[in-house]
């Protein structure tokens, strides 16, 4: 059958990915720099580990964007080797689902810290963060191994180009495995998304149930201001899911059936699904820009460091580390405050 294509992508994708590449590279390199200089803050250990891993995953995706830009400039003709196509496809997959999983563990971490502050503070946060991060990477790399094990480049004789991970329709024997894998991923994604929504709803309920009659908490900060920042963090995490990932996973199922000719839908319907699918791919690329915004809402220390750095740069001075080492007793005391977990 004829390859289901969307002409607008050859103009839109290079321009969009070019902007994402520049902003994503600058934002994530700077985020990595800030996280590195926050390494002495014990209260930040676990959340910093998750943020660092998420930043690395984003940078892996950003680094291969120039090759995808070249691919679309050449109207969907892959100019490199099959193995390099597999690597690029695998990194796209790894970035997407590492982002999903690390945003999920960040939500679980914040939920745990709000609802069980003493237990969360007294446990080995660094060890838990490392183990969780290793599990996320192992799971994601194992899932991405399918992209590395299967041929990436498919020849489209009609257009006389070599497609990279766009040739499912040419291979009848691969249709069933592709459908099973895609729908399995979709099901797992929505399971994870429901977990994120559940955690953030419980966090929101806990925050909103705290009294705000007193002008200031014992930490010296206004409770209603803390709640506002905390709720913005919840909206930021859920917002990344809604903007970047939900559209793709809603369209992915019907698109898979359409592109594999597993339905009797009209050509117009199939074309509409393919156009929508291309747009969702662009939206997924936004996550490497939006993730650093989540960091700012996740922790006050991250925001303070950036503000301090900008002030120092403005005055021509070297930025000093705003975060200091705190003991476990101080950490427990801070987390015991009603909302102080969002002020770390």
User: If you count them, how many residues does the chain have?
Assistant: 344
| Nearest partner of 272 among 3, 2, 75, 4, judged by Cα | 4
DSSP 8-state class, residue 243: I
| Cβ atoms 336, 126 nearer than 8 A | no
- CA dihedral sign of residues 337, 228, 116, 298: negative
Q: Which of 69-78, 98-107, 217-226 has the lowest mean pLDDT?
A: 217-226
| Structure tokens belonging to residue 285 | 């690329």
For the chain, what is the mean pLDDT?
A: 80
Predicted local confidence at residue 271, as pLDDT: 92
Number of other residues whose CB lies within 10 A of the CB of residue 228: 13
Q: In this structure, what is the dihedral angle of CA atoms 54, 60, 63, 65, given to the nearest 10 degrees?
A: -90
Tell me if 97 sits within 8 A of 140, measured CB to CB.
Answer: yes
* Distance (Å, whole) CA 294 – CA 28: 12
State the Cα–Cα distance between residues 256 and 273, nearest whole angstrom: 9
| pLDDT tens-place string over residues 108-143 | 888 887 777 666 666 667 888 899 999 999 999 999
* Cα radius of gyration rounded to whole Å, the chain: 22
HSE (side-chain half, CA atoms, 13 Å) at 10 = 8
> pTM score, two decimals?
0.81
Residue 263 banded pLDDT, cuts 50, 70, 90: confident
- DSSP classification of residue 244: I
Angle between helix 82-115 and helix 223-240 axes, rounded to 10 deg: 150
Instruction: In whole angstroms, give the CA distance from residue 327 to residue 174.
Output: 56
For residue 195, the Cα-to-chain-centroid distance in whole angstroms is 16
pLDDT tens readout for residues 285-309: 999 999 887 776 666 677 677 777 6
Quick one: which of 6, 94, 114 has its CA closest to 53?
94
The second-level CATH assignment, the architecture, of 9-343 is Up-down Bundle (1.20)
What phi-psi label fits residue 292: left (phi over 0), alpha (psi between -120 and 50 degrees) or beta?
A: alpha
> Is residue 335 scored above 70 in pLDDT?
no
Taking the C-alpha atoms of residue 138 and residue 180, their distance in angstroms, rounded to an integer, is 21
pLDDT for position 58? 93
Nearest to 288 by CA among 56, 34, 48: 56
Residue 196 CA to residue 38 CA, distance in Å, equals: 26
* pLDDT of 99 higher than 90: yes
Q: Which residues of 161-192 are buried (b: 16+ CB within 10 A; e: fewer)?
A: bbbbbbbbbeeeebbeebbeebeebbeebeeb
Q: What six digits make up the tokens of 328?
A: 């476990």
Choice between 297 and 19, residue whose per-residue pLDDT is larger: 19
Run of H or E including 51: helix 45-73
pLDDT band at 94; cut points 50, 70, 90? very high
């Amino acid at each position: 059958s004829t390859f289901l294509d969307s002409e607008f992508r050859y103009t839109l994708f290079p321009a969009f990915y070019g902007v994402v590449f520049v902003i994503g590279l600058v934002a994530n390199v700077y985020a990595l720099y800030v996280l590195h200089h926050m390494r002495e803050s014990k209260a930040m250990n676990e959340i910093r580990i998750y943020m660092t891993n998420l930043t690395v995953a984003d940078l892996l995706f950003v680094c291969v964007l120039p090759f995808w830009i070249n691919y679309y400039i050449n109207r969907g003709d892959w100019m490199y080797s099959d193995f390099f196509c597999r690597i690029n496809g695998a990194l796209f997959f790894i970035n997407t689902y590492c982002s999903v999983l690390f945003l999920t563990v960040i939500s679980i971490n914040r939920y745990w810290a709000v609802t069980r502050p003493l237990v969360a503070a007294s446990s080995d946060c660094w060890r838990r963060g490392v183990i969780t991060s290793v599990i996320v990477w192992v799971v994601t790399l194992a899932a991405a191994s399918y992209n590395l094990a299967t041929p990436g480049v498919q020849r489209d004789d009609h257009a006389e180009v070599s497609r990279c991970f766009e040739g499912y329709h040419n291979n009848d024997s691969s249709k069933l495995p592709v459908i099973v894998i895609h729908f399995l991923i979709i099901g797992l994604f929505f399971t994870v998304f429901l977990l994120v929504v559940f955690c953030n709803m419980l966090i929101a309920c806990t925050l909103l149930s705290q009294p705000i009659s007193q002008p200031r908490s014992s930490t010296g900060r206004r409770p209603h201001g803390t709640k506002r920042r905390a709720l913005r963090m919840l909206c930021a995490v859920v917002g990344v899911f809604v903007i970047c990932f939900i559209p793709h996973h809603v369209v992915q199922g019907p698109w898979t059936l359409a592109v594999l000719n597993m339905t009797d839908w009209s050509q117009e319907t199939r074309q509409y699904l393919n156009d929508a699918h291309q747009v969702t791919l662009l939206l997924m690329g936004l996550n490497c820009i939006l993730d650093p915004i989540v960091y700012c809402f996740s922790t006050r220390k991250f925001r303070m460091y950036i503000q301090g750095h900008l002030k120092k740069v403005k005055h021509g001075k070297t930025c000093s580390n705003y975060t200091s080492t705190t003991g476990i007793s101080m950490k427990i005391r801070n987390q015991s405050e009603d909302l102080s977990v969002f002020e770390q």
